[in-house]
Structure 1
């Protein structure tokens, strides 16, 4: 992100409870209640002070939206838990897809071709074509 200090991201716990409450449009006591219920779990300093991240603020806004739509706090907790699990599973699927693609590319007998202005050339699996803009076609080796 442009202008973002090194080492900080959306999960960096930088906001006090007052700042997070203001950003989320809620009262600080509401944030304390949400923490007790496990809806939002801010980081803690050595002195046990709550520190909220931008991700936490977004979650607070999501709780506020669901609450405004009439969802109970227990219902909101379940929705957020399922949403977190869904996000984690999607990340795991992306990791596994990458690992599978790497494994397929490392198999012997696989052929990869690059097509550009100079014709079609065979390239090593996992390598990039030498010409920018070349189209790469991968075909498994046929075993007849």
Structure 2
């Protein structure tokens, strides 16, 4: 459980740095860890405030069409955290699998000559084949007039 909390804090810090945010799918008793707004859908990774379990939900037109959660009934770990440091930045990943598909939530910061660039998204594999690579829309909460 302590590794989950450390991973969540690290990912949350990277998400905050990149300003990737949308109105998420987290419930009142959950904290939003990652939300990705795409052209027609959005997805959220949420942490239960009381027991620290994670849930990932995806929705189209505000209707949940996908959900996976850690729970007491589920055997084994569901979500896996990894990170890659870059000079002047880094990349964080949360990975999980369901029904033959592997999902990667990512958030990265890269130093460039023009300043840092930020991106976040969701990559989906079916077996070893990449079938989707969706980039999140970026909305900074602290910036007036941001979309």
Do these two structures clear the TM 0.5 threshold for a shared fold by scoring above it? no
TM-score, normalised by the number of residues in structure 1: 0.22
- Larger CA Rg, structure 1 vs 2: 1
Structure with greater helix percent = 1
TM-score, normalised by the number of residues in structure 2: 0.22
Q: Which has the higher contact order (CA 8 A, sep 6+)?
A: 2
